[in-house]
Amino acid sequence: LYSKGVTTREIADLIEKMYGSHYSPAQVSNISKQMIPKVEAYHQRKLSDKFFCVYLDATYIPLRRETFEREAVYIAIGIKPNGHKEVIDYRIAPSENVENWTEMLQDMKSRGLEQ
């Protein structure tokens, strides 16, 4: 949320409403800065090569941006042969379209997803 333009105060308010824990805007900022490298590593990690099924979907969430009020969150969820579910990847883009899906699928393939 932080990297997509939601203010630290708004994030703190959401956390309090959802989980009942209070964080100051400064704490949210510090947590966000620590998480950025972890999120980048997640998007670059090697993927398992086999899934029984892969679900692809997108939903729109409100974000504060200069040109867009809502953006699409693309998500790929895989089910392994043992039934274990895994979020393979996700990304946020201004709108849902075939080019974004193609890029996401090609990226997953380049990181090891084969079947």
pLDDT at 100: 93
Residue spans of the domains in the chain: they are 2-44, 53-110
Q: What is the pLDDT of residue 79?
A: 93
78 conformational bin, left if phi > 0, alpha if psi -120 to 50, beta if neither = beta
Mind listing the pLDDT tens digit for each residue in 20-51? 888 898 998 888 889 889 999 999 999 977 88
Query: What is the spatial distance between Cα 50 and Cα 42, in angstroms, rounded to a whole number?
Result: 18
Query: Using 50, 70 and 90 to split pLDDT, how confident is the model at 66?
Result: low
pTM over 0.75: no
